[in-house]
Amino acid sequence: MAKLNNANELKELRQKLAQETFKPDALRARVCCGTACTATGAYKVIEEFKKESANSGIDLEIVKTGCQGICQKGPVLKLEPMDIFYQRTKPESVPWIMSYSILGNMPYRQGLYRDNFLSEPVPVMTDVPFYKKQKRIALRNNGKIDPCNIDHYLAVGGYAGLEKALSSMSPDEVLAEVDKANLRGRGGAGFPAGRKWKHTKSAPGSIKLVIANGDEGDPGAFMDRSIMEGDPHSLLEGMALCAYAIGAQYGIIYVRHEYPLAVKNLWIAIKQAEDMGLLGKNILGTDFSFTMDIREGAGAFVCGESTALVASIEGERGFPRPRPPRLSEPGGGAWGYPSNLNNIETYACVPVIIEQGSDYFLSIGTETSPGTKVFALTGKVKNTGLVEVPMGITLKEIIFDIGGGILGDKQFKAVQTGGPSGGCIPASFLDLPVDFDSLSSVGSMMGSGGMVVLDEDTCMVDVANFFLSFTQSESCGKCPPCRIGTSQMLKILQRITSGKGEPGDIQRLLDLGKNIQKTSLCGLGQSAPNPVLSTIKYFREEYEEHIYDKYCRANVCSGLGAFVIDQNECFRCGLCKAACAFNAVTEMRDRFIIDRTACTQCKACYTACPIKAVKIRKQRHVILEEVFKIPTEKIEVIDRRAKMNLGDIMKTKTSYELFAMTPGHKVTDAIKLMNDRNISAVMVVDENQKLKGMITERDIVRGLSKGAVFLNDKIENIMTREVITFTPFTEVSAAISVVANKKVRHLPVVDGDRIVGMITYRDLVSYVLPEIIYMAEDMY
């Protein structure tokens, strides 16, 4: 590999390679050799292609690419020039692909992508819904090039940004371009890279470092791994541009040791770039020198935190330390040298900004969050994998258009973004445009790009428990709020999910969470309570059900609920009885029944029943059903309604007219109004429309019995002055209790001094509990 002595030589080489590599007419298979596709047999597929093409004398170029995104459908490959995309490719499909597509120039239908079993197959990659709304900047070369071949990177325009910077831009100009692009850090907090670069550049001292954070500790995240494995030169080029801009001489990539392929491909790329004179001393014959190294971390989540990462690089234990000094300041970075730390994806965007200009970058995404973001889309979604989308795309577009919707066409419940530091966003925010600020505004965060989709079968308390158990076990233990606080929160959560939750537990979680956020030293502790706090905010009802009803609506938590066998569904296979280790299932002459006094709620029968005839219900529902013979559906409706408030009832009234008179009006006027409008009460207000009392049919009857002559009597003489008022937030159950105890039939609803509505006894009866009819009939 000949060393390039100047930018011109690089330009000429790039132009030559662009013409010679990836010729448009050549037969080519771009086979994904990312970690997921390798695990599902990509190399066996390649072997088969080699064998078949040798046997039939076909000259087939095979490009072993990095991750193409749709990992769940691997091994995937793209066949050119016919432009056919194959998924879930098996070695035995290769001869068919060869004869159909290479010899016959048509797709082999069985190997194509389909939305579902019955839908038409999609031959072209860009027509597959998963790829349709994506926009690739950071992943621009993933799936196109062989990451171990620098010629491939150069052929698709690689190192053009570095060439442009070294030949025609000063370091300040490079920095200004990144600053203008408002490139925000993709590692979590979204801090503008340009501002960080300026801090490090302005720090005193002649030795400076550029560090890339490839720790990627979020469970399920693999954005950075895919870039390091699939396009390592884009990271090297981005880091070199940063070094040039801030005057740094050394670069370190910090990678977790669970990423061996990333480390291997990065070392290959570094060696190739050094051999070509694109890294090392006097790059492209200029005064700019930049030497790269890789440090492997032991794989602790806390080592992604900037100060812990620096400690780990230095060979110390990965303990965070207080700031200042920041990494960009003397004494703060690795071995005390001012260091610029950015995420892998952040650096990978830099070559595009320099080569194509900040205006191009600013033209994508939103005003405050330009560009794109890579997400690892996982969970209960049909298409999982890596997606790169323009900022501002809605959650719905990502989950339903790209992700294909919810597995099994179940109900969407929530999406967890930002990994263990993020939060759960409910269905009401599906139209939220995704960017750094919007996600924070609903109590979650972008984080590094983890996106876990949750469906109706997910227990939100269990989800909070899962993420908190991760952060609790990853806490470095240095500071008590994080070490002890997260473990206390976890104990409470485990108590709740095992059916031993106590009244007050929700408040305890809220108090502890807020204190841990405020008093922890580093971002791990500061963000650890987020999944718990956001699930309490949006799914409090589920916490209450676990605590008060001892019930988990998703049937996820063991030790909760009452187990019953639905006799209409049961076909008496007896598998539940066989599964029960506690002899709680009894076989009768014509049915199986569960003895709830012997049942330990272990869920074995629930799992064993092949037709889901074993049901888990709320204890009190089962009693109502069995003792009072009220059907389950009715109980559920009653329950749901009883949890609503008066504001909900008001919203259901299609038209709303409020009638009010002053105390000086005559009683006969009130009677006329009641008669004309078919109402049984009128509100009495003063000149400021402030509620003073009510005049009801009952007041009139009482007045008559006392011998009143209404022709001249004023309302104030017979009106009820002590009126009980409610707010729209008064729970329906509380209103029912007032109706029952105080024997009132009209409930004025106020907001401060303003009258906003009137709920009648009849509204409650028709809206809420059929039982209240019995109760009320007794009373009136």
Ligand X SMILES: Cc1cc2nc3c(=O)[nH]c(=O)nc-3n(C[C@H](O)[C@H](O)[C@H](O)COP(=O)(O)O)c2cc1C
Binding residues vs ligand X (CB under 6 A) = 185-189, 191, 213, 215-217, 301-302, 304-306, 341-343, 346, 448, 522-524
Give the residue from 661, 696, 687, 674 showing the smallest Cα distance to 753.
687
Which residues have a Cβ under 8 Å from the Cβ of 690 and sit 6 or more positions away? Answer: 753
**Cα–Cα distance measured from residue 278 to residue 274, given in angstroms and rounded to the nearest whole number:** 6
Asked if residue 580 binds ligand SF4 (CB under 6 A), the reply is yes
The widest CA-to-CA distance across the chain, in whole angstroms, is 116
- Report how far apart, in Å, the C-alpha atoms of 440 and of each of 246, 425, 443, 447 are: 30, 10, 5, 10
Asked if residue 769 binds ligand FES (CB under 6 A), the reply is no
Asked if residue 483 binds ligand SF4 (CB under 6 A), the reply is yes
Outline where DSSP puts E strands in 602-667.
Answer: 614-617, 660-661
Q: How far is the CB of 425 from ligand SF4 (least distance, A)?
A: 25
- Residue 478 contacts which entry, ligand SF4, ligand FES, ligand X, none (Cβ below 5-8 A, type-dependent): ligand SF4
Q: How far is the CB of 92 from ligand SF4 (least distance, A)?
A: 43
Location of structure tokens 């309604």: 641
Asked if residue 524 binds ligand SF4 (CB under 6 A), the reply is yes
Which region among 53-61, 64-72, 168-176, 581-589 touches ligand FES (by CB under 6 A)? 64-72
Asked if residue 76 binds ligand FES (CB under 6 A), the reply is yes
Asked if residue 420 binds ligand SF4 (CB under 6 A), the reply is no
CB 777 within 8 A of CB 649: no
**Identity of the residue, 362 or 602, whose beta carbon is nearer to ligand SF4 in the bound complex:** 602
Asked if residue 555 binds ligand SF4 (CB under 6 A), the reply is no
Count of residues that interact with ligand SF4, criterion CB under 6 A: 28
**Cα–Cα distance measured from residue 224 to residue 450, given in angstroms and rounded to the nearest whole number:** 11
Q: How far is the CB of 238 from ligand X (least distance, A)?
A: 10
User: Residue from 184, 225, 382, 603 that binds ligand SF4 (CB under 6 A)?
Assistant: 603
**Cα–Cα distance measured from residue 750 to residue 729, given in angstroms and rounded to the nearest whole number:** 10
User: Residue from 7, 34, 374, 545 that binds ligand FES (CB under 6 A)?
Assistant: 34
**Identity of the residue, 450 or 525, whose beta carbon is nearer to ligand SF4 in the bound complex:** 525
Residues in the chain: 780
- Residue 186 contacts which entry, ligand SF4, ligand X, ligand FES, none (Cβ below 5-8 A, type-dependent): ligand X
User: Residue from 53, 68, 384, 458 that binds ligand FES (CB under 6 A)?
Assistant: 68
**Cα–Cα distance measured from residue 270 to residue 273, given in angstroms and rounded to the nearest whole number:** 5
Which region among 47-55, 247-255, 522-530, 659-667 touches ligand SF4 (by CB under 6 A)? 522-530
Which region among 69-77, 126-134, 171-179, 451-459 touches ligand FES (by CB under 6 A)? 69-77
Helix, strand, coil percentages for the chain (3-state, nearest 5): 45, 15, 40
Q: How far is the CB of 203 from ligand X (least distance, A)?
A: 17
DSSP state of 148: T
**Identity of the residue, 428 or 586, whose beta carbon is nearer to ligand SF4 in the bound complex:** 586
Asked if residue 185 binds ligand FES (CB under 6 A), the reply is no
**Cα–Cα distance measured from residue 308 to residue 288, given in angstroms and rounded to the nearest whole number:** 30
**Cα–Cα distance measured from residue 383 to residue 70, given in angstroms and rounded to the nearest whole number:** 7
- Residue 76 contacts which entry, ligand FES, ligand X, ligand SF4, none (Cβ below 5-8 A, type-dependent): ligand FES
Count of residues that interact with ligand FES, criterion CB under 6 A: 13
**Cα–Cα distance measured from residue 483 to residue 473, given in angstroms and rounded to the nearest whole number:** 9
Residue 91 CB coordination number (10 Å): 17
* Window 145-174: residues binding ligand SF4 (CB under 6 A): none
Asked if residue 552 binds ligand SF4 (CB under 6 A), the reply is no
Phi, psi for residue 731 in degrees, rounded to 5? -70, 145
- 3 state SS of 544: helix
Asked if residue 602 binds ligand SF4 (CB under 6 A), the reply is yes
**Identity of the residue, 597 or 678, whose beta carbon is nearer to ligand SF4 in the bound complex:** 597
Asked if residue 67 binds ligand FES (CB under 6 A), the reply is yes
**Identity of the residue, 561 or 703, whose beta carbon is nearer to ligand SF4 in the bound complex:** 561
- Which uninterrupted H or E stretch holds 24? none
Give the residue from 103, 29, 111, 86 showing the smallest Cα distance to 62.
29
Q: How far is the CB of 332 from ligand X (least distance, A)?
A: 13
Asked if residue 29 binds ligand FES (CB under 6 A), the reply is no
Which residues have a Cβ under 8 Å from the Cβ of 15 and sit 6 or more positions away? Answer: none
Q: How far is the CB of 570 from ligand SF4 (least distance, A)?
A: 13
CB 508 within 8 A of CB 495: no
Which region among 148-156, 169-177, 181-189, 477-485 touches ligand SF4 (by CB under 6 A)? 477-485
**Identity of the residue, 41 or 663, whose beta carbon is nearer to ligand FES in the bound complex:** 41
**Cα–Cα distance measured from residue 622 to residue 551, given in angstroms and rounded to the nearest whole number:** 12
**Identity of the residue, 214 or 561, whose beta carbon is nearer to ligand X in the bound complex:** 214
- Report how far apart, in Å, the C-alpha atoms of 13 and of each of 7, 129, 145, 157, 350 are: 10, 37, 17, 11, 22
Give the residue from 200, 537, 137 showing the smallest Cα distance to 349.
137
* Window 303-322: residues binding ligand SF4 (CB under 6 A): 320
Which residues have a Cβ under 8 Å from the Cβ of 20 and sit 6 or more positions away? Answer: 155
Q: How far is the CB of 602 from ligand SF4 (least distance, A)?
A: 4
Residue 52 CB coordination number (10 Å): 18
- Report how far apart, in Å, the C-alpha atoms of 227 and of each of 63, 348, 490, 699 are: 17, 8, 35, 79
* 586 bridge partner residues: 593
User: Residue 318 CA to chain centroid, in angstroms?
Assistant: 28
**Cα–Cα distance measured from residue 269 to residue 148, given in angstroms and rounded to the nearest whole number:** 6
User: Checking DSSP bridges between strand 28-32 and strand 61-65, what pairing results, if any?
Assistant: parallel
Asked if residue 438 binds ligand FES (CB under 6 A), the reply is no
Asked if residue 477 binds ligand SF4 (CB under 6 A), the reply is yes
* 416 bridge partner residues: 424, 452
CB 198 within 8 A of CB 378: no
**Identity of the residue, 404 or 481, whose beta carbon is nearer to ligand SF4 in the bound complex:** 481
Asked if residue 70 binds ligand FES (CB under 6 A), the reply is yes
Asked if residue 189 binds ligand SF4 (CB under 6 A), the reply is no
Query: How many CA atoms, within 13 angstroms, populate the side-chain half-sphere of residue 275?
Result: 11
Q: How far is the CB of 421 from ligand FES (least distance, A)?
A: 25
**Identity of the residue, 69 or 371, whose beta carbon is nearer to ligand FES in the bound complex:** 69
At 59, list the tokens.
Answer: 């000259």
DSSP state of 106: S
**Identity of the residue, 69 or 523, whose beta carbon is nearer to ligand X in the bound complex:** 523
Q: How far is the CB of 632 from ligand X (least distance, A)?
A: 45
Asked if residue 609 binds ligand SF4 (CB under 6 A), the reply is no
- Residue 580 contacts which entry, ligand X, ligand FES, ligand SF4, none (Cβ below 5-8 A, type-dependent): ligand SF4
Asked if residue 575 binds ligand SF4 (CB under 6 A), the reply is no
CB 226 within 8 A of CB 67: yes
Which region among 63-71, 336-344, 372-380, 526-534 touches ligand FES (by CB under 6 A)? 63-71
- Residue 645 contacts which entry, ligand FES, ligand X, ligand SF4, none (Cβ below 5-8 A, type-dependent): none
Asked if residue 509 binds ligand FES (CB under 6 A), the reply is no
Q: How far is the CB of 37 from ligand X (least distance, A)?
A: 23
Instruction: By CB under 6 A, name the binding residues for ligand SF4.
Output: 302, 320, 475-479, 482-483, 520-522, 524-525, 563, 579-580, 582, 584-585, 594, 599-605
Instruction: By CB under 6 A, name the binding residues for ligand FES.
Output: 32, 34-37, 67-71, 74, 76, 385
